[in-house]
Structure 1
Amino acid sequence: MSKYDTTIKQQTIIDEESLTSHRRTPFADNKGGKVDTDLDSDDFFIPTTSRGTTSVSSQDNDSKTFLVASHTTKRNLVNRHVQLIAISGVIGTAIFVAIGKPLYRGGPAFLLLAFAIWCIPILCITVSTAEMVCFMPVSSPFLRLATKCVDDSLAVMASWNFWFLECVQIPYEIVTVNTIIHYWRDDYSAAIPLVIQSLLYLLISLAAVKWYGEMEFWLASFKIVLAMGLFCFTFITMLGGNPKKDRFGFRYFHDTPFKKYFPDGIDRGSSAGYFQGFFICLIQASFTIAGGEYISMLAGEIEIPRRVLPRAFKQVFMRLTILFLGSCLCVGILCSPNDSSLTAAINEARPGAGSSPYVIAMNNLGIRILPDIVNITLITAAFSSGNAYTYCSSRTLYGMALDGYAPKIFTRCNKQGVPIYAVGVSLLWAFISLLQLNSNSAIVLNWLINIITASQLINFAILCITYLFFRRAYLLQKDKLPELPFKSWWQPYTAIFGLVCAMVMMIVQGYTVFFPKNWNVQDFLFCYLMIFINIGIYIFYKFIWRLGKDKIKDPATISFEDELREIENHELEHNFDKFRFYTE
């Protein structure tokens, strides 16, 4: 019987002698070592945490039963769910469609180089996130750690920024689906895909998390199949396996590996042009490549998280790196940056699959039907990403409400353990996609890309700052805390490097708007508004709402006891369930 039911249930415990012997069994860490929990009898109760997610009722000593109140969310996600959901949240349509713009502006070599370079700070941010999330795998862990290790003001800023980041990506994917459909026809209202997708997201999100995990597992599988299929397509066609029998190989890497780019159209010399060609590709990489925050948002609903998460962080990063760099290599092989169809699609701001280098290459080679198949799969990829963002945004709002940073109504869950009001409010952001009714879809996508890039870079910086404070607290209390399930390397320099890269990119990602010919207030706000909003939230909460009383936490007094005991109770119960299964 699971402690993660929504009502209080009785759970009969084995006799006192076997209980005593069992509670001294240490937990295995992810490396096969032991984490000594040194439990006493009270450790079998689930304590009330600062977030209010758990509580304890009472113990009946005569019957030796424990009355346990539990999480409203449930730990029903297993390793295969985690792997695919994490990939689904990061892999959208950007590596299949939006990647055409940096290819056109920077050339195939700069595109591949920029993505490879940006993977380095992403690795630094990911391993820093992994170390603290694997240690404390609870709901919204890195946001919760900001409260615990830094100060409440940073936690408020981080929470609202991440919630906004996830919410604004829902309309982005809805607009993307609409632009892909335009590949075939455009004689319909943009409100139709909005309504259909929103209803499907709602129905999926209201189901129990294990069914959400299954749905997202199969949707994410389509993305991986699509990526692998396009890799195979590239390999076959470059060797002459195409209707034109053209063995083009790495022709475009040889002919035009690098391109000069001048945002305002004024030639300022080769060096400036080539640098900006590379830099525009780097900015696209900072939008396209995400880190481990999507894995961390699953932590509160993962079964045996201290065993699953370390492996998940390692495997997901490697798979994402292969997918991102493989896609950059493939589009550079298949499509020339000077291709007339690509040039027209970018200059005319054609929406959707019409600007995809893959689709353009297929049409150039005279391959029929396959572009339609790719576009259908792209729709499922965009839908899957929107589904993942709906999950992350609702769980973020749920965690904020538990911490007191949002109204308590968002803590309410249905009997499946789904925060229904948080899901509903997060999905309201889907209506932003209606902006395309009055503007070109490509323009709306560009607005959303700029907002998402800024919020994502802010989130990366917050992750690194939180890690540095977490590390300080852990080192001071190391003797009385369990060993870290995941250890990153070269810390704290790894986190500092990730922080510096994120902050520098945050400042320069909208540099093109400062050219005299390009200046307009609208573009400036879409690139930098989130920075000012987040600074405003921090200052307002710290100096106005809390009247300057919100101090940086003393690392020596920070307590991880409640969270660790919560995880240990879950692991104990999981071991009990397995023991019962094999002995009954």
Structure 2
Amino acid sequence: MSPPKYEDDGGLAPVPTNDDDVIAPAYSNSGGETDLNDGKETNEKLGPRPSSPSVGDIRRNSSGGSSADHLVENHGNQLQRRLKNRQIQLLAIGGSIGTALFLSIGNGLIRGGPGSLFIAYTMYSCILGLVNNCIAEMTVYMPVSGGFIRLAGHWVDDAWGFMAGWNFFLYEALLIPFEISALSVVLSYWRDDIPPAAICAAAIVAYILLNIFAVKTYGEAEFWLSIGKLILIFILYFFTFITMVGGNPKHDAYGFRYWKNPGSFATYLSDGNIGRFEGFLAAVWSASFTVVGPEYISMAAAEAKHPRVYIKTAFKTVFWRFGAFFILGSLCVGIVVAYNDPLLSAGAGSGTAAGSPYVVAMTNLGIRVLPDVVNALLFTSIFSAGNTYCYCASRSLYGLALEGRAPRVLTKCWNGNPLFCFAIVICFSLLSFLSVSSGSNVVLTWLVNLITAGGIINYVVITMTYICFYRAMKAQGFDRSRLPYIGWFQPYGAYVGFVWMSFVVIFYGYSAFRPWSVDNFFTYYTLVILAPILFCGWKLIKRTQWLRPHEVDLVWETEAIRAYEAQETDPVTGLWQEILEMVDITRLRKKKKSEV
């Protein structure tokens, strides 16, 4: 069968001209460029918005509201698009900022030194920017439930989607007990007589209350929690700048002193240049656990209002977030404290604010009160991270169920919320009660090493999926220039990202061989071993095929998305406009004008 040839119909997805080769309904969409400042859409590039959907199942809920809130895509999706622009944008920020940026980054500094840390975080952020280009182009075009894990199954191989979905689910689900356990440890900074079991139970109950209702409840909670993360980041950045120029109790303008003494590059495992190189690798491993984000935006795409506008904007902000948070953050950490500081080494495994490089610097400079503020905001940051993981884990499991890769009963939703999926996810949070035992720090370390590999595998999946997506567009004559988001440097960026992430996931646990340790080997490589087992097992059971470029269905959900966009009546609003409306400033201004 020859590849279908496409002619432009003025919409997003061209229509195949060869009737024998039609593989899915064509899509004629809006998805045009949008000015988020005034909330007006311009569709010069992609043509007019269709006046009504030709197909698609739109169900109205008895609770009222916009009918488009209750979009049911193909395969029985019952999620509701209720996340607003401000919630999506703060989710994009909050989802990428976890405890690692404030605590775990200290381990990278100890092992690599400030120079290695800064270079590693810069390189990893740039590579992940290429991965972001891949997932953004695919997700903005096809904003479906399950995000990239369903795209992997439809555009690569059903077994590839099966492996991607279960890997991402386990990755997110195992992060939940890690964050809950960290809450208990952070509170011990103030007092150690609080029962860890009580803290774990309270956190679990809070997550249940925030996630069992409509998605807008989660979105609103995450909006405010993410603001707390931003406040913490800017406090630490201002602290770095002010103290390095002499604004501290000791009037010590230390500047970049620690880059000279003890030096920019530390040795790790070995001595000399080899040790410094291994220190750099350790900093890369630290970055691979800390620098994250694009996958969380993909998971929220199916529940966002105006996804081709709001999700597109969220993906575009990823680049400056990497620079402002991770690259600048790694630079600040190397400025405020020496990599061989005894307080830093002593607090590295504590999990409390005492292990934060910033708090160590505050202690060294004799600054009081501020460490308590940092610890309080760190507590909200950890809670927010766990809340996001609950959301993403339940949505990934729901996406698996939609495709028959998990029990179909999990597709049942109440008020647009997959409660069966969430019930399974919350069971993983019970692992946090391991922190009650004396070996909780060992368990936390094991979880960190285990889940880091899962996160890197996600990026391997994303880049390979994009490569297949790009090849399919080229083989089928699909006009890529008409996509609502076009990633730059493609497909070369996808190849670079695939090679880099594959290298990281293979060599991430090399320290298990120096000296050889069976326990460390399985700690680092459990998910790496599990991924091919899942892929090959599903492939053998279901006899799936790796799709050739001309066999890929490029428009499989576009009619449902078209139906939603045609029915959505709420106007597109910008981030700041929504924030002003939220605090009623806009309404007050209109009232004053009317009085005049």
Identify the match of residue 159 of structure 2 among 148, 153, 158. 153
**Distance in 2 of aligned mates of 1:526 and 1:536:** 17
Distance 1:37 1:143, change over 3 A: farther
- The answer to which of 85-94 and 388-397 deviates more is 85-94
Question: Matches of 1:278 and 1:39 in 2, distance apart?
Answer: 53
User: 1:78 deviation in Å?
Assistant: 1.9
CA distance in 2, matches of 1:501, 1:330: 26
The one of 541, 563, 566 equivalent to 2:560 is 566
Matched residues in 1 for 2:164 and 2:280: separation? 30
Residues 271 and 424 (structure 1), Cα distance of their counterparts in 2 relative to 1, 3 Å cut: same
Distance of aligned partners of 1:40 and 1:225 in 2 relative to their CA distance in 1, 3 Å threshold: closer
1:378 match: 378
> 2: CA distance between counterparts of 1:26 and 1:86?
25
Q: Could you say which residue in structure 1 is the equivalent of 2:45?
A: 34
Pair 1:142–1:174, CA change in 2 (3 A)? same
Cα distance between partner residues in 2 of 1:576 and 1:515: 59
The residue that corresponds to 2:527 in the other structure is 530
Inter-CA distance 402–251: structure 2 relative to 1 (3 Å threshold): same
Once the two structures are superposed, the pairs formed by residues 185-584 of structure 1 within 5 Å of their partners are 185-263=191-269, 268-346=270-348, 349-415=349-415, 417-479=416-478, 483-516=482-515, 519-543=516-540, 545-546=541-542, 549-575=543-569
Q: TM-score, normalised by structure 1?
A: 0.86
1:138-186 Cα offsets, whole Å, 9 max, x none, are 1113111112111111111000000001101111111211121121222
Q: Report the number of matched residues.
A: 527
The equivalent of 1:45 in structure 2 is 55
- In structure 1, what is the Cα distance between the partners aligned to 2:443 and 2:398? 29
For the 8 Å contact 1:46–1:569, the answer to whether it is kept is yes
- How big is the shift at 1:378? 0.3
Matched residues in 2 for 1:449 and 1:440: separation? Answer: 15
SS in 2 for 1:73: coil
The amino acid of 1:306's aligned partner reads R
Aligned-partner Cα distance in 1 for 2:192–2:299: 37
Say whether the 8 Å CA contact 2:362–2:368 is kept in structure 1.
Answer: yes
Post-superposition offset of 1:189: 2.7
Q: Which amino acid aligns with 2:523?
A: F
How far has the Cα of 1:436 moved from its partner? 2.5
Are residues 342 and 480 of structure 1, via their aligned partners in 2, closer, same or farther at CA, if it must alter by over 3 Å?
Answer: closer
Task: Tell me by how many angstroms 1:243 deviates.
Answer: 1.3
1:480-522 Cα offsets, whole Å, 9 max, x none, are: 8882111112221110110011110001111111012xx3222
Q: TM-score, normalised by structure 2?
A: 0.84
Which segments of 5 or more consecutive residues in structure 1 lack a partner in the other structure?
Answer: 1-23, 48-53, 57-64, 579-584
Residue of 57, 70, 73 corresponding to 2:79: 73
Contact 1:37 1:482 in 2 (8 A): no
Tell me the alpha carbon deviations over residues 67-123 of structure 1, each in whole angstroms, 9 at most, x when there is no partner. Answer: x97452111112211111122122111111111111122211111111001112101
Q: Secondary structure at the match of 1:297?
A: helix
Q: 1:576 to 1:45 in 2, by over 3 A?
A: farther
Q: Which runs of 5+ in 2 are unaligned?
A: 1-26, 35-41, 61-66, 573-596
2:108 alignment partner, one of 102, 107, 114: 102
Q: Deviations over 1:229-276 (max 9, x none)?
A: 11011111112211111111111122233343333xxxx541111111
| Aligned counterparts of 2:422 and 2:526: Cα–Cα separation in 1 | 26
Partner of 1:35, secondary structure, is coil
Partner of 1:61: none
- Distance 1:362-1:135 versus aligned 2 partners, 3 A rule: same
Change (3 A) 1:75 1:482: farther
Letter matched to residue 396 of structure 2 = T
435-444 vs 380-389, greater mean Cα deviation: 435-444
Residue type of the alignment partner of 2:331: L
Cα distance between partner residues in 2 of 1:188 and 1:100: 26
Any idea what SS the aligned residue of 1:97 has?
Answer: coil
RMSD over aligned Cα atoms: 2.4
Report SS of the residue matched to 1:241.
Answer: coil
Aligned residues of 1:36 and 1:482 also touching (Cα < 8 A): no
Q: Indicate conservation of the 8 Å contact 2:31/2:308, yes or no.
A: no
Question: Post-superposition shift, 1:305?
Answer: 0.8
User: Partners in 2 of 1:442 and 1:325 — Cα distance?
Assistant: 28
Alignment partners' CA distance in 2, 1:474 and 1:188: 58
- Deviation digits for residues 363-412 of structure 1 (CA, Å, limit 9, x no counterpart): 11111111111101100000000000000000111111111111122111
- Structure 2 contact 32–47 (Cα < 8 Å) conserved: no
Kindly provide the CA deviation profile for residues 315-354 of structure 1, in whole angstroms up to 9, marking residues without a partner as x: 13312331112211111111111212112234xx333222
Corresponding residue of 1:132: 138
Structure 1 residues 75 and 338, CA gap change in structure 2 (3 angstroms): same
Say which SS state the counterpart of residue 118 (structure 1) adopts: helix
| Alpha carbons 1:133, 1:299 under 8 Å: kept | yes
Q: Distance in 2 between matches of 1:98 and 1:515?
A: 22
C-alpha deviation, 1:566, in angstroms: 1.3
Q: Distance in 1 between matches of 2:248 and 2:372?
A: 17
Specify the alignment match of 1:3 in structure 2. none
Q: Alignment identity in percent? A: 39
Separation in 2, partners of 1:207, 1:359? 37
Q: Aligned AA for 1:322? A: A
**Greater displacement, 567-576 / 361-370:** 567-576
Give the direction of change, closer, same or farther, for the CA distance of 1:458–1:69 in structure 2 (3 Å limit). closer
